[in-house]
Amino acid sequence: MEDLLYAGLGAGAAMTLVAARQHLSGFIGQRPRDYRGQLPVFDLRGHLAGDLLMEGVIFGPTGRASSRFVAEARATWAGNRCVMTEEFRYESGRTQRREWRLTLGNDGAIRAEADDVPGGGRGWQSGNAVLLRYPIRLPADAGGHVLKVTDWMYLTPGGTIMNRSQFHKFGIKVAELVASIRPRAA
């Protein structure tokens, strides 16, 4: 019986170490300073501006693709403030609209607000990457849950923005989004 107890404690300790390692060194463990000085420099006012096209895939908790979308966005800047409207069309035929209100600080800090983002979000622009962290309230037909989001955008050398977001509930990853963002052709 004592051997079983020690085996259980050992397994629990190993699982805790693996979880801590993933948290500190994986996607969630990235920090804006990791991208400081990396080129090309991601200038939100220049790269996330005007008419944009987004195409992406949402993965469920098992890692399988659960939804695909195309979205058109318009980002308009006035000084350090931006209003970005997004119109999503999902493969199911469902549509969704979101309006982001961003404020960019002179030091790269970002404040983000949207109607489905209770309390707003915070982020940072550094080198060729942008981080945003925020809570998001799912629509009522999706359960209305509030999830914690870690959202990274990376500027590619060709000017396309690659967006990767992870959604967590009670510390467990429940979804992931991967999308491209680029200027929409006239």
What digits encode the pLDDT tens for the residues 127-176? 999 999 999 999 898 889 999 999 999 999 999 999 999 999 999 999 99
- How many angstroms separate the CA atoms of 120 and 111, rounded? 7
The verdict on domain 31-183 having CATH code 3.40.640.10 is no
Report the pLDDT averaged over residues 65-84: 98
- How many angstroms separate the CA atoms of 23 and 21, rounded? 5
Whether residue 112 has pLDDT greater than 80: yes
Closest by Cα among 65, 41, 32 to 151: 32
Whether residue 38 has pLDDT greater than 80: yes
Largest CA distance in the chain: 72
Average pLDDT, the chain: 90
The pLDDT score that the predictor gives to residue 175 is 97
Phi, psi torsion values for 32, nearest 5 degrees: -55, -35
Whether residue 44 has pLDDT greater than 80: yes
The pLDDT score that the predictor gives to residue 141 is 85
Per-residue tokens: 12: 């629990």
Burial (Cβ within 10 Å: 0-12, 13-18, ≥19) of residue 73? buried
Q: Does residue 33 sit in helix, strand or coil?
A: helix
DSSP-derived secondary structure letter, 43: -
The pLDDT score that the predictor gives to residue 152 is 98
The pLDDT score that the predictor gives to residue 18 is 46
- How many angstroms separate the CA atoms of 148 and 166, rounded? 8
